[in-house]
Amino acid sequence: MRTTLMFGLLSLATACGGDPCAEYAELLCDCAEDDDMCDSYKATYENSDADQQDECSARLDEAEAASESCQEDEGEEG
């Protein structure tokens, strides 16, 4: 049943055009020190399989909070 549920959720995300790993990589890029690190994140999560997409989905909230924090810090510096 768990496999069916994960497959169903993954199918729903794919059908809606969402790629949790692409979104996750973009959020990581917000805090990346340089473009090379950002490119590395994108390469790591490109063409992710179902297990990796599940992991990305589970970490999206955490990455979003970190991204917001990084953007706030940049705003205070500038």
- Residue pLDDT, tens place only, 17-58: 589 999 999 999 999 999 999 999 999 999 999 999 999 999
Q: What does the pLDDT average to over 62-70?
A: 95
- pLDDT band per the 50, 70, 90 thresholds, residue 76: confident
| CA dihedral for 26, 45, 47, 61, sign (positive or negative) | negative
Phi, psi of 70 (to 5 degrees): -65, -40
Question: How far is residue 67's CA from residue 61's CA, in Å, rounded to a whole number?
Answer: 10
Could you tell me how far CA 57 lies from the centroid of its own chain?
Answer: 7
Quick one: pLDDT band at residue 78, thresholds 50, 70, 90? low
**Cα–Cα–Cα angle for 51, 1, 45, rounded to 5 degrees:** 10
Token look-up 């500038």 returns 78
